[in-house]
Structure 1
Amino acid sequence: MAPDSRIKIRHLACFLEVAARRSFGGAAEALAITQPAVSKAIADLEDILGVALFERSRRGVFLTGYGEAFQRYAGASLTALRQGVDSVSQAQARGGHTLAIGALPTSANRIMPQAVLRAKAEGLGATVRIITGPNELLLNELRQGDLDLVVGRLAAPRAMQALAFEYLYSEEVVFVVRPGHPLLAHETVELGQLADFTVILPTLRSIIRPEVDRLLVSQGVARLPEVIESVSPDFSRRYTRTTEAVWIISYGVVADDLAEGLLARLPVNATPAQGPVGLTQRAEMPASVSLQILMKAIREVAAEQG
């Protein structure tokens, strides 16, 4: 049931002061208003709720059973409101605090630049610090409180303890080469043909390596003769563009390279591996106003990019 819109902050403030001081006069003095104004606010509140909140006697003013029950929630409501106001004030204070965001290379390249730009345009005043690295490392830092958010792939269940994941989209693994690569002459490429070339794979501890291994094994490729393992987009991009290597990587890392024609996608004869990408936070930890602004921008950019 939605709260009664007739209940105002002044009602709660007067109620809490009377309950704390057991006096209408003391509440009026603390709130710097007249005693009749306090009395009217309490009468209005009791009328809205349909119960008596106070018992009046010569010894003072005391809460009824209804009043005691209402006091817990009224106090929590005003506390939450003050915290919300403080959070907004902090978010507006430029340079007041820093948001530490962990991002896998795929999201750091594809999502975060536009998301940060949009969040800044919507009033985000916090400094945004982007940290990239292996998924396992980023999640450990998130769990320890060194990061506020991780933008990347969903980890294995054992790595998600005390964490909460919000799905954004699914991203596939692609096979890319330099323009003019010999394999591009084929209408379709069998994965077994990769054995004739150097293949750049994610490292064993990377989040997408199990997906890549499963895909290769499913196509009868148990071993590749010449392999380089790397999670460095800069190294892998440069090596692929200047050699005949085949780079197996998440689409988001090379989306711009493919769009600009700097790399080309191989037409492999296999269903591409896919994995969910999203936002990972510490469970039960409410997001600050600044983080909410940034998360909203990330969701919007991810939705636009599909």
Structure 2
Amino acid sequence: MEHSSGSLVRRLRLQQLAIFEKVAETGSMLAASRELHMTQPAVSKCIRELEQHFNETLFTRGKRGVQLTEFGELLRRHAQSLLAGLRFLADDANSWSAGISGQVVVGTLLTASAKLLPRAVLRLREIAPNIIVKIRVGSNDALFPELARGQFDVVIGFLPEENINPSFIHVPLYDEMLCAVVSRHHPLALDAQVDIRQLQDMAWIIPTVESVARRSAHSFFEAAGMAMPGKLVESVSFLTNLGLLLESTMIALMPYAVAEQFVRAGLLSILRLGVASPFGKVGYTLMADRPPTAATARLLAALEQVAGIDAPGGL
């Protein structure tokens, strides 16, 4: 069966796509019906109507719920784009009528979630308290594809060294530095200056091999005149790293802005090594072909305002 755009406009309903997306998200007709406050038969009927319209099976049924077929995956990609477009329209309409309302969905890396993003959100609440901010943490590999599909309005954090995808606009806010940190109770925590030679045989926590921060770790040791330590734990989980630091005498590499938050909380100390090692640029990423909504534009303005405060002041 061939499908023209006119035929789709006449026969498809946005509610059908919203129901389809909820079933795909939950993996269950029953769970979707509960979240949508509908009966399960009504949800099932909607899915059957979509399958009849396209003459394709959208889900395979099993004991543990439903899974998308290949055609279902195709339809979901387009449904997500359409529903995201509706959300952008709703946000713009709300902003037009109220001036300070709307919603911003943010994808962020831990690099920015420690200080930059919280301060920007607090600044946004001062100027537009009715804007709802939804935040999800992830890696660039996961966040950028979702930004392209319209699941995020903006991604905030560590920027790629090269912009190889013209679909994205990367806006740098400041240069982040890498530093070495230890528990506040570490023997070296209070030393005004630490001799690099003391650190070679100690246990370190560094980013994993596949992490974009691994190259920065190599640069750090080169700048310090050290070989890569032999005793290593490779981790990009800040909570895990913090636990290891608090329970041992290990040393960890962290972005300065992240480490500074733990220092202020009285948990960690930054070792004074006399080494300034670049970590990368911190900023935000937008889609080149999708202008930011009014609510998103206000968050970006807040980011710009607080970026100077968050820029590392040196080690």
**Category of TM-score, reference length = shorter chain:** 0.5 to 0.7
Give the Cα–Cα distance (whole angstroms) in 2 for the partners of residues 299 and 116 of structure 1.
12
Q: Percent identity?
A: 27
What one-letter code is carried by the residue in structure 1 that aligns with 2:95?
A: V
What TM-score, normalized by structure 1, do the two folds share? 0.64
Task: Structure 2 unaligned segments of length 5 or more: list them.
Answer: 1-88
Assess, with a 3 A threshold, how the Cα gap between structure 1 residues 191 and 84 changes in structure 2: closer, same or farther: same
Q: Hey, what does 1:275 align to over in structure 2?
A: 280
Alignment-derived partner of residue 257 in structure 1: 262
Is 1:142 matched up with 2:150? Answer: no
Q: Give the drift of 1:305.
A: 3.1
Q: 1:88 aligned to 2:74? A: no
In structure 1, C-alpha distance between the alignment counterparts of 2:97 and 2:197, rounded to whole Å: 56
Q: Deviations over 1:53-103 (max 9, x none)?
A: xxxxxxxxxxxxxxxxxxxxxxxxxxxxx9997362376586xx6422111
Q: CA deviation at 1:304?
A: 2.9
Q: Is 1:130 the equivalent of 2:173?
A: no
**Alignment correspondent of 1:26:** none
State which of 183, 186, 193 in structure 2 corresponds to 1:181: 186
Matches within 5 A, 1:19-34: none
The residue that corresponds to 1:38 in the other structure is: none
SS of equivalent residue, structure 1 residue 195: coil
Aligned to 1:225: 230
Q: Secondary structure at the match of 2:280?
A: strand
Q: 2:167 aligns with which of 148, 159, 162?
A: 162
The equivalent residue for 2:240 is 235
Aligned to 1:216: 221
State whether residues 201 and 247 of structure 1, in contact with CA within 8 Å, keep that contact through their aligned partners in structure 2.
yes
Q: How many residues align?
A: 223
Secondary structure of 2:217's aligned partner: helix
Counterpart contact for 2:182–2:271, Cα < 8 Å = yes
> What is the distance in 2 between the residues matched to 1:258 and 1:199?
18
Pairwise CA distance, 1:135:
2.4
RMSD value, Cα: 2.8
Do 2:106 and 2:154's aligned partners in 1 also have CA atoms closer than 8 Å? yes
Gaps in structure 1 of 5+ consecutive residues = 1-81
Which residue does 2:3 correspond to in 1? none
Shift of residue 292, structure 1, vs aligned partner: 0.6
Cα gap change, 1:222/1:158 in structure 2, threshold over 3 Å: closer, same or farther? farther
Give the superposition deviation at 1:205.
2.9
Measured in 2, the distance between the counterparts of 1:218 and 1:296 equals 35
State yes or no: 1:289 paired with 2:280.
Answer: no
SS of equivalent to 2:141 = helix
Q: 1:272 deviation in Å?
A: 2.0
SS at match of 1:150: strand
CA distance in 1, matches of 2:223, 2:119: 37
Change (3 A) 1:93 1:299: closer
Deviates more, 1:187-196 or 1:138-147: 187-196
1:165, 1:268 → 2: CA distance? 32
Partner of 2:202: 197
For 2:289 and 2:171, how far apart are their aligned partners in 1? 14
Q: In structure 2, the residue corresponding to 1:118 is in which secondary structure?
A: helix
User: Cα gap change, 1:204/1:100 in structure 2, threshold over 3 Å: closer, same or farther?
Assistant: farther
Structure 2 length-normalised TM: 0.63
Please say if 1:247 is aligned against 2:252.
Answer: yes
Q: How far does residue 283 in structure 1 lie from its aligned partner after superposition?
A: 1.2
Give distance in 1, aligned partners of 2:190 and 2:124: 44
Mapped partners of 2:98, 2:139: distance in 1:
29
2:176 and 2:282 in contact (8 A); partners too = yes
Offset, 1:224:
2.0
Residues 191 and 269, structure 1, Cα contact 8 Å, conserved in 2: no
**Amino acid in structure 2 at the alignment position of 1:116:** V
User: For 2:116 and 2:166, how far apart are their aligned partners in 1?
Assistant: 25
Distance (Å, rounded) in 2 between the aligned partners of 1:227 and 1:84 = 47
Cross-structure match for 2:84: none
* Distance (whole Å) between structure 2 residues aligned to residue 147 and residue 83 of structure 1: 15
Q: Distance in 1 between matches of 2:90 and 2:155?
A: 25
Given that 2:103 and 2:295 are in contact with CA atoms closer than 8 Å, whether structure 1 keeps it comes out as no
**What residue is the counterpart of 1:172 in the other structure?**
177
